[in-house]
Structure 1
Amino acid sequence: MAAPFSTRQSGYTLLEMLVAMAAGLFLLAGVAMSYSAIKNTVRTTQELSDAQEVIRYTSQVFTRSTKQTKALPVVSADTLTIQFEQYANVLSCQGTTPAADYIETYTLANGFLTCDIGDGGGAVQLLKGVEALSFGFNNYLVSVLVKPDHMPSHFGTGLQIDIATTQLILIEAFK
């Protein structure tokens, strides 16, 4: 007698394939969403890091100029420019030490914080990535309002840095 013919086949049914493909697509969508979220977080973190660096550098530059100034700073009427009168042989905003007294003039030009010491060389770009910059002066206190590029909106118009004119306060105290 001949062996019975088996009609059973091995493999996957169409329904099993559809279920496996749906599960695979679900996992792939989850991975894609996670990648997108991580990419956005990395970009936001980099923007915040860049903004923090702009604020840190701005604070450092203006702290040096404000603390070593020999006269009251002069803020322009539109508050977009500030000038510091400095002694000879002290470090300037351009990294030089001029042999004569000089005036540092800070302003914002095309997204760059610039400084001119009036030596005929013109303004030097110190820092890029500044969206807005304004100045104020009141009672020996210099206020610098800086807004870096890509700063989160909850910071409003920027961050204010207040710096005391230490040398002038000491001169006034010992009169």
Structure 2
Amino acid sequence: MYVTHSRQQSGYTLLEMLVAMTVGLFLLAGVAMSYSAIKSTVRMTQELSDAQEVIRYTSQVFTRSAKQTISEPSVSADGLTIQFKQFANVLSCQGTTPIVDYIETYILSNGFLTCDIGDGNGAARLLKGIDSINFTFNNFLVVIVVKPLDIPSHFGAGLQIDIATTQLILIKAFEDNA
């Protein structure tokens, strides 16, 4: 009498294991590339958000100073410093309201936009994250070119903010009509 044993296969063959491992590696590579792309996008979005905040705050600070100045702003020869003369009892760049006329002096120092109102307390740090800033004044218009840190290269030398010196324009209009 012959006894036949039927052998059932248990487990996977070497070829099946190699195919499964290859498919798994391709899936992991796809996940890794997706993660890398998402991480890069998140980092760039954060950098753009930081740059936008620098631009927004810079615009806000200088708009207040330029609109309430009582004489033409003074820009240094190299364009790195600007001064605004302000009336007493108006809000200063440091958040105070001096009781005498004062001059706000803005300059970039060690990556910080600073403002000094000449009250003996020194310059206050207003904003960090600026790579460079440049000022010009022409025909009642303050032009500020600010370059935030880590801004994408296609923005070149920075972004330009133009602010009209409203108080000076009104004074000139009243003088012309008088």
Task: Give the structure-2-normalised TM-score.
Answer: 0.96
Secondary structure of the residue that 2:97 maps to in structure 1? coil
Gaps of 5+ in 2: none
State the superposition RMSD in angstroms. 0.8
Secondary structure of the residue that 2:157 maps to in structure 1? coil
Residue aligning to 2:119: 119
- Provide the identity percentage: 77
Alignment of 1:87 with 2:87, yes or no, is yes
Cα deviation, residue 8, structure 1:
3.7
Cα deviation, residue 2, structure 1:
5.4
- For 1:14-163, list aligned pairs within 5 A: 14-163=14-163
2:172 and 2:143 map into 1 onto residues whose CA distance is 20
Gaps of 5+ in 1: none
Aligned length: 175
Cα deviation, residue 6, structure 1:
1.9
Q: Deviations over 1:90-144 (max 9, x none)?
A: 0000000000000000000010000000000000100000000010000000000
1:102 and 1:122 map into 2 onto residues whose CA distance is 14
Task: Give the structure-1-normalised TM-score.
Answer: 0.98
Secondary structure of the residue that 1:174 maps to in structure 2? helix
Q: Deviations over 1:16-46 (max 9, x none)?
A: 0000000001000100110010000000000
Cα deviation, residue 11, structure 1:
1.8
1:153 and 1:9 map into 2 onto residues whose CA distance is 62
1:166 and 1:9 map into 2 onto residues whose CA distance is 89
Query: Which amino acid counterpart does residue 153 of structure 1 have in structure 2?
Result: S
